Amino acid sequence: MSIREDQSRFKSIIKAKVRDDFKRYVTSGELIGKREDEFVKIPLPRIDIPTFRYGPKQKEQGVGQGDGEASEAAGNPGSNKGEAGNQSGEHMIEVEVSMEELADILGEKLELPKILPKGTKNILVEKNKYSGLAPVGPEGLRKFKQTYKKALTRYISSGTYNPDDPIIVPIRRDYQYRAVKKTPLPHTKAVVIYMMDVSGSMGDEQKEIVRLESFWINTWLKKHYKGLDTRFIIHDASAKEVDENTFFKTSESGGTLISSAYKLCQQIIQADYATSEWNIYPFHFSDGDNWSGEDTRVCLSLLKDFFLPNVNVFSYGQVESKYGSGQFLKDLQKEFINDDRLTLSQIEGRDKILSSIKDFLGKGK
């Protein structure tokens, strides 16, 4: 039945709407709460064909039935059967969009380049695919079109082809069959390690921004790496590894030693992720405050000696906060000018989330 076509047309209209309103979804976070395994559910107002119709006043008055004196509550006139029609404007519909499609929209909106996994880190897996051709095979796998083409070639090359009577009769040696072809499939492994400063100077708004950014970064990376690993580290003066939930909920107070997180991250990589096999993406978010210049120097040398040579790209996002000095970003900028293994981004507020994501992922690494 052709309702399937109408349905898919409707869905593509809806998706176009999501695309148009994409910026709003990125910065509002309503998608994250609605996430299921493979899909996100996006609430949209039901799309309507406009007609001249009565305004909302019509609903303020009506006829009902039941007990009760004047000015007693009459209950809520719910949607009642039968009287469909002029009440559609308020319904919401939920559209299911797969994470894959969401990533596509993100990529399209930000014009993100495809990520090219590091060459040596690809494990090739061979897979059998019926995409080849062979002159022998079972009749069930005979390719009619190719067989015809072969026969046609034979006719033309032997000069027996007659355009007025274009009958082609294939003979045994024209026959073409589908055959197995071994296709190497790249199999890549990747891990994202999120580090976040949870010291007193990082407020709720800053954490929400980090949460939104990490959601979109994950979405994009997942599109490129099947089976993406994620790890979470929080730090103030000391660092510890936590699960995703704790990562976004924890609020500590006290000082900040960024190096503690970097050291823990180094340990995790060395323990679990052989740099020859894994694509590694460390992300660090903070407000740019560090305890001392001494600690910053430790961080810089860790970056230079361990991280940058071993990871795909190291990303640092600095979330603007009232209390942070923002010094760390400046230190990094000074130390690593034009080093494209390090990505720096400054996030002044929710509005800048999109451009910051572009900073991080725009290099295609």
Partner 1 sequence: MANLTFELETERKKISQIAKDCGLDFFETIFELINYDQISQIGSYGGFPVRYPHWRFGMEYEQLSKSYEYGLSKIYEMVINTDPCYAYLMEGNSMMDQKLVMAHVYGHCDFFKNNVWFSKTNRKMMDQMANHATRIKRYIDRHGYEAVEKFIDNGLSLENLIDRYSILNNPQNLTDTKSFTQNDSYLFKVEKPYMRNYINPPAYIAGQKLKQDEKNLQKTQFPLSPVRDVLSFLMHYAPLEDWQKDILSIIRDESYYFAPQGMTKTLNEGWASYWHSYMMTRYILNDSEIIDFADHHSGATFMQIGGYNPYKVGIELFRDIEERWNKGRFGREWSECDDVRERKNWNKNTNLGREKIFEIRKIYNDVTFIDEFLTEDFCVRNKMFVYKLNKETGKFEVDTRDFKAIKAQLLFQMTNFGQPIIKIEDANFENRGELLLQHAHEGLDLQPNYMDATMLNLFKIWKRPINLVTIMGNEAFLFRYDGNQYSKHSLSDNNKTDVGGPQVPAKA
**Is 61 a residue that touches partner 1 (CB under 8 A)?**
yes
Among the listed ranges 63-71, 186-194, 282-290, 341-349, the one in contact with partner 1 (CB under 8 A) is 63-71
- The whole-angstrom separation of Cα 152 and Cα 158 is 10
Q: Which of 16, 47, 156, 237 binds partner 1 (CB under 8 A)?
A: 47
Q: Which residues 83-112 are close enough to bind partner 1 by CB under 8 A?
A: 83, 85-86, 89, 93
Burial class (CB in 10 A: 0-12, 13-18, 19+), 29: middle
**Is 36 a residue that touches partner 1 (CB under 8 A)?**
no
Build a one-symbol-per-residue string for 139-178: x at contacts with partner 1 by CB under 8 A, - elsewhere: ----------------------------------------
Q: Which of 58, 153, 267, 301 binds partner 1 (CB under 8 A)?
A: 58
Q: Are 362 and 107 in contact (CB under 8 A)?
A: no
Q: Which of 36, 67, 111, 243 binds partner 1 (CB under 8 A)?
A: 67
Distance between the two ends of the chain, CA-based, in angstroms? 45
**Is 65 a residue that touches partner 1 (CB under 8 A)?**
yes
Q: Which of 8, 153, 267, 270 binds partner 1 (CB under 8 A)?
A: 8
Among the listed ranges 15-23, 77-85, 173-181, 255-263, the one in contact with partner 1 (CB under 8 A) is 77-85
Q: Which helix (H) or strand (E) holds 110?
A: helix 99-110
Q: In one letter, which amino acid is 323?
A: Y
Nearest Cα to 250, choosing from 202, 191, 217?
Answer: 202
Side-chain half-sphere of 244: how many Cα atoms within 13 Å?
Answer: 8
Q: How far is the CB of 87 from partner 1 (least distance, A)?
A: 10
User: Residues binding partner 1: what is the number (CB under 8 A)?
Assistant: 52
**Is 76 a residue that touches partner 1 (CB under 8 A)?**
yes
Please, which residue, 17 or 118, has the CB nearer to partner 1? 17
Q: How far is the CB of 73 from partner 1 (least distance, A)?
A: 5
Q: Are 232 and 194 in contact (CB under 8 A)?
A: yes
**Is 34 a residue that touches partner 1 (CB under 8 A)?**
no
Which residues are CB-contacts of 287 (< 8 A; sequence separation ≥ 6)? 197, 201, 202, 206, 318, 319, 320, 321, 323, 324, 326
Q: Are 345 and 356 in contact (CB under 8 A)?
A: yes
Phi, psi of 13 (to 5 degrees): -65, -45
Q: How far is the CB of 39 from partner 1 (least distance, A)?
A: 14
Q: Which of 33, 37, 52, 166 binds partner 1 (CB under 8 A)?
A: 52
Q: How far is the CB of 193 from partner 1 (least distance, A)?
A: 40
Q: Which of 78, 140, 166, 293 binds partner 1 (CB under 8 A)?
A: 78
- The whole-angstrom separation of Cα 365 and Cα 357 is 13
Q: Are 27 and 212 in contact (CB under 8 A)?
A: yes
The bridge status of strand 92-98 relative to strand 39-45 is antiparallel
Q: Which residues 179-218 are close enough to bind partner 1 by CB under 8 A?
A: none
**Is 301 a residue that touches partner 1 (CB under 8 A)?**
no
Which residues are CB-contacts of 24 (< 8 A; sequence separation ≥ 6)? none
C-beta neighbour count of 9 within 10 angstroms: 10
Q: Which of 80, 120, 157, 162 binds partner 1 (CB under 8 A)?
A: 80
Q: Which of 33, 38, 71, 172 binds partner 1 (CB under 8 A)?
A: 71
Burial class (CB in 10 A: 0-12, 13-18, 19+), 62: exposed
Among the listed ranges 2-10, 33-41, 121-129, 143-151, the one in contact with partner 1 (CB under 8 A) is 2-10
- The whole-angstrom separation of Cα 183 and Cα 55 is 62
Q: How far is the CB of 69 from partner 1 (least distance, A)?
A: 7
Q: How far is the CB of 40 from partner 1 (least distance, A)?
A: 17
Helix segments in 129-285, DSSP class H: 144-158, 204-224, 244-249, 258-272
Q: How far is the CB of 38 from partner 1 (least distance, A)?
A: 18
Interaction site with partner 1 (CB under 8 A): 1-3, 5-11, 13, 46-78, 80-83, 85-86, 89, 93
